[in-house]
């Protein structure tokens, strides 16, 4: 590696540049590392203090120590507990649907056909749109009476459909999930398509010679070879889905009532609607710890077969 | 490696094994295109609805049953969104913030990635530490950052960071860093070190070898990392919503304001502004499609 070049004698123009040369590896890492420390590690440490005091703007510079009260208050709130479960089942449902659709789409788009390139460009567009905007579209799409969702539904369903998609119980969840699926199916699709394209044709020829049926070729050639990539995609998507906030903000604002509060939305409300800064920070810390455990578990568990391969 | 758009070099190969491939999807022949058509409809419907709403007059927007093809298209929504409802301000702020963020994140990220890939600086731990930033939920630091920006930055540094572009740029850079670091880390590890070593033998200093050999060679990787950093800050909402209330509002914040605070009144304007914000997104999407996979998986899958 690079150290092989070290013993070479070479002319050094000045003391500064030779110092830079000797320490270049640390100089290069420093700006990035410093920024992360300053803007995530430091705020997190600061947050520990905020979580243990009563941080109230009306108290001015006084921040009375309250110990674990903020954490206890948070756990007493049934909305908080419900939001955790909701975040979990939202994430799993959304990612499962996205994986299914993405895989089907990748299989369908694998072989070239006319217009494939144009379609590809359309398919990736959702990835470049702000999620808050996606939530806004779907709101526009389903809002009564101006939205078209009811009209579309009455075409396929007998009778005049008048569902309030932003209030009626199962529908509001379905719309939220559809919005997320709309935006993130391309994520799965793009990654899985790359995975599928990487499987050499010779393997299918061999399977064919051995008399494998298409279904068998899929389950004994495609799936095992695609599995590491599926796992990577699922891991990344799950970690992101757990942070769900933007589409809640623009589509339902947590409503009806608190029925669509995710953990991120709940904490946002605590912090910036009610200004319960101490409680919000305590909750954020607990959420961070839970997510860290889950993320590490996912990365270890799901990516293990990838690293071994 | 696995280039999703590299159909042309593969075409002949595909042709040869057409029977095999064909056999694989025999059941799916027609079904395949039906599925693509349904998915395309699902994808385009909301987009179409928004495009149409952006050119509808007020009556058409509120009409029941909804109007699919407006008879009298108007550009008033665009004019109002841009001039009356923070549209230009949001776009300008978004552009400046995304641009500077991109430069910083790419410069710092590439430097760190180079050091980690070539000198094994910090070993696996440092690389994994950067990756772990990708996992962190933004909500976890939003309250402390809000407090630091609004109450303490003035006290400690002499300037407030709340509602400023700089404040947003600093945060977005940190959020883009895991992407740029990991994308470039994967890129540099693929790049043979021999070229830089040759430059060293020829009398270049380390810094010169980096500037004259390594960076130009890494240009394709750098460009796709830059596209990612740009999109990340172009679409970010939560931090901008909390930290940029007035002076530094970005386009997503301006949009959210129209959609959520005036329930149902400003949809035309919001759609118009959305159409405008889609422009860079679609251009970048079309240009960087082939690098997308690498970015989405932080270099874990090569696209």
Specify the CATH number for the domain of residue B134. Answer: 1.10.3720.10
pTM, two decimal places: 0.86
Interface of B with A in 3-22 (CB under 8 A): 3-7, 10-11, 13-14, 16-17, 19-21
| Pairwise CB contact (< 8 Å): A201 & B116 | no
- Min Cα–Cα distance to chain B from A280, Å: 8
- Tell me what ipTM this predicted complex has: 0.85
Q: Domain check: are B28 and B105 in the same one?
A: no
Confidence band (pLDDT; 50, 70, 90) for A153? confident
Nearest to A295 among B5, B35, B135 (CB): B135
- pLDDT of B263 > 70? The answer is no
| Mean predicted confidence (pLDDT) in A236-263 | 88
A196 contact partners, CB below 8 Å, separation of at least 6: A106, A107, A110, A222, A226
Contact residues on chain A for B289, CB-CB shorter than 8 A: 120-121, 124
CA distance B250 to A132: 12
CA distance A44 to B142: 10
| Mean predicted confidence (pLDDT) in B46-52 | 87
- Among A175-179, B241-245, B262-266, whose mean pLDDT is lowest? B262-266
| Mean predicted confidence (pLDDT) in A103-111 | 89
| Pairwise CB contact (< 8 Å): A218 & B24 | yes
Confidence band (pLDDT; 50, 70, 90) for B47? confident
The three-class DSSP label of residue A246 is helix
| Pairwise CB contact (< 8 Å): B133 & A287 | no
Q: Residue B146, preceding bond cis, omega within 30 degrees?
A: no
Q: Domain check: are B202 and B246 in the same one?
A: yes
CA distance B139 to B136: 9
What CATH number should be reported for the domain whose range is A77-308? 1.10.3720.10
Q: Domain check: are B35 and B100 in the same one?
A: no
Confidence band (pLDDT; 50, 70, 90) for B130? confident
Averaged pLDDT score across all residues of chain A: 84
pLDDT of residue B303: 57
CA distance A177 to A163: 17
A239 touches chain B (CB under 8 A): yes
Domain ranges of chain A: 77-308
Nearest to A194 among B2, B50, B143 (CB): B2
The three-class DSSP label of residue A53 is strand
B106 touches chain A (CB under 8 A): no
Q: Domain check: are B94 and B69 in the same one?
A: no
| Pairwise CB contact (< 8 Å): B46 & A25 | no
Q: What percent of chain A has pLDDT over 90?
A: 27
Domain that holds residue B96: 81-296
End position of a domain, from candidates B57, B74, B91: B74
Q: Domain check: are B133 and B264 in the same one?
A: yes
Q: Domain check: are B29 and B46 in the same one?
A: yes
CB A36 within 8 A of CB B133: yes
Domain count, chain B: 2
pLDDT of residue B259: 76
Classify residue B274: in a domain, yes or no. Answer: yes
B279 touches chain A (CB under 8 A): no
| Pairwise CB contact (< 8 Å): B17 & A32 | no
Distance, C-alpha A248 to centroid of its chain: 14
pLDDT of residue B25: 47
pLDDT of residue A101: 95
DSSP-H helix ranges across chain A: 15-22, 24-36, 42-52, 69-76, 78-109, 116-124, 131-142, 149-156, 169-197, 201-209, 214-217, 223-241, 246-251, 263-272, 277-308
pLDDT of residue A12: 52
Q: What percent of chain B has pLDDT over 70?
A: 88
A114 touches chain B (CB under 8 A): no
B126 touches chain A (CB under 8 A): yes
Q: Chain B residue with minimal CA distance to A7? A: B201
| Mean predicted confidence (pLDDT) in A62-83 | 88
A200 touches chain B (CB under 8 A): no
| Mean predicted confidence (pLDDT) in B82-107 | 91
Q: Domain check: are B205 and B98 in the same one?
A: yes
Distance, C-alpha A114 to centroid of its chain: 33
- Min Cα–Cα distance to chain B from A29, Å: 4
Confidence band (pLDDT; 50, 70, 90) for A274? confident
Classify residue B7: in a domain, yes or no. Answer: no
Phi/psi region, residue B54 (left: phi>0; alpha: psi -120 to 50; beta: rest), is alpha
Confidence band (pLDDT; 50, 70, 90) for B50? confident
Does residue A251 or residue A18 have the better pLDDT? A251
Classify residue B11: in a domain, yes or no. Answer: no
The three-class DSSP label of residue A65 is strand
Q: Domain check: are B36 and B94 in the same one?
A: no
- Among A58-72, B178-192, B218-232, whose mean pLDDT is lowest? A58-72
Q: Chain B residue with minimal CA distance to A287? A: B140
């Amino acid at each position: 590696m690079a150290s092989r070049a070290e013993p070479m004698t070479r002319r050094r123009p000045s003391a500064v540049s030779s110092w830079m040369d000797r320490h270049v590896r640390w100089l290069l890492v420093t700006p990035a590392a410093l920024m992360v420390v300053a803007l995530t590690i430091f705020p997190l440490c600061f947050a520990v203090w905020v979580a243990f005091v009563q941080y109230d703007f009306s108290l001015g510079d006084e921040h009375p120590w309250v110990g674990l009260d903020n954490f206890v208050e948070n756990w007493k709130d049934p909305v908080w507990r419900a939001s955790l479960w909701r975040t979990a089942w939202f994430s799993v449902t959304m990612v499962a649907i996205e994986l299914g659709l993405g895989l089907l789409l990748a299989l369908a788009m694998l072989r070239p056909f006319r217009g494939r390139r144009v379609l590809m460009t359309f398919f990736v567009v959702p990835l470049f749109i702000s999620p808050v905007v996606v939530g806004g579209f779907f709101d526009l799409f389903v809002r009564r009476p101006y939205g078209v969702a009811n009209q579309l539904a009455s075409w396929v369903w007998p009778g005049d459909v008048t569902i309030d998609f932003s209030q009626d119980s199962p529908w509001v969840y379905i719309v939220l999930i559809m919005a997320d699926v709309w935006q993130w199916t391309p994520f799965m699709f793009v990654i899985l398509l790359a995975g599928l394209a990487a499987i050499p044709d010779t393997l299918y020829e061999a399977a064919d010679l051995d008399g494998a049926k298409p279904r068998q070729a899929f389950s004994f050639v495609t799936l095992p070879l695609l599995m590491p990539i599926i796992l990577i995609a699922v891991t990344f998507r799950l970690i992101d889905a757990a942070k769900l906030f933007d589409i809640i903000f623009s589509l339902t604002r947590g409503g009806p009532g608190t029925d669509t509060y995710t953990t991120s939305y709940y904490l946002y409300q605590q912090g910036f609607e009610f200004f319960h800064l101490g409680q919000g920070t305590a909750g954020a810390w607990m959420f961070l710890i839970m997510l860290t455990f889950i993320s590490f578990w996912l990365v270890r568990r799901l990516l293990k077969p990838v690293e071994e391969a | 490696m696995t280039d999703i758009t590299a159909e042309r070099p593969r075409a002949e190969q595909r042709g040869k094994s057409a029977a095999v491939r064909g056999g694989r999807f025999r059941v799916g022949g027609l079904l395949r295109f039906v599925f693509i058509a349904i998915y395309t409809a699902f994808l385009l419907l909301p987009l179409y609805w928004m495009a149409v709403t952006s050119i509808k007059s007020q009556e058409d927007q509120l009409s029941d049953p909804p109007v699919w093809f407006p008879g009298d298209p108007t550009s008033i929504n665009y004019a109002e969104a841009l001039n009356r409802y923070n549209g230009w301000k949001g776009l300008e702020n978004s552009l400046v913030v995304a641009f500077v963020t991109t430069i910083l994140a790419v410069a710092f990220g590439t430097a760190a990635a180079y050091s980690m890939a070539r000198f094994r600086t910090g070993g696996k731990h440092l690389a994994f530490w950067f990756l772990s930033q990708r996992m962190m939920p933004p909500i976890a630091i939003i309250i402390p950052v809000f407090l630091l920006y609004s109450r303490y930055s003035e006290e400690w540094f002499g300037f407030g960071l709340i509602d400023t572009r700089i404040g947003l740029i600093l945060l977005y850079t940190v959020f883009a860093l895991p992407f740029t670091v990991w994308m470039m880390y994967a890129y540099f590890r693929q790049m043979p070190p021999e070229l830089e070593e040759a430059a060293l033998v020829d009398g270049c200093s380390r810094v010169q070898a980096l500037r004259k050999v390594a960076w130009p060679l890494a240009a394709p990787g750098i460009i796709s990392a830059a596209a990612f950093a740009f999109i990340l800050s172009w679409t970010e909402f939560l931090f901008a919503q909390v930290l940029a209330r007035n002076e530094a509002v970005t386009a997503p914040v301006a949009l959210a304001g129209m959609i959520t605070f005036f329930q149902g009144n400003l949809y035309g304007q919001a759609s118009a502004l959305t159409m405008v914000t889609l422009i860079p997104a679609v251009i970048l999407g079309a240009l960087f499609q082939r690098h997308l996979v690498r970015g989405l998986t932080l270099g874990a899958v090569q696209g």
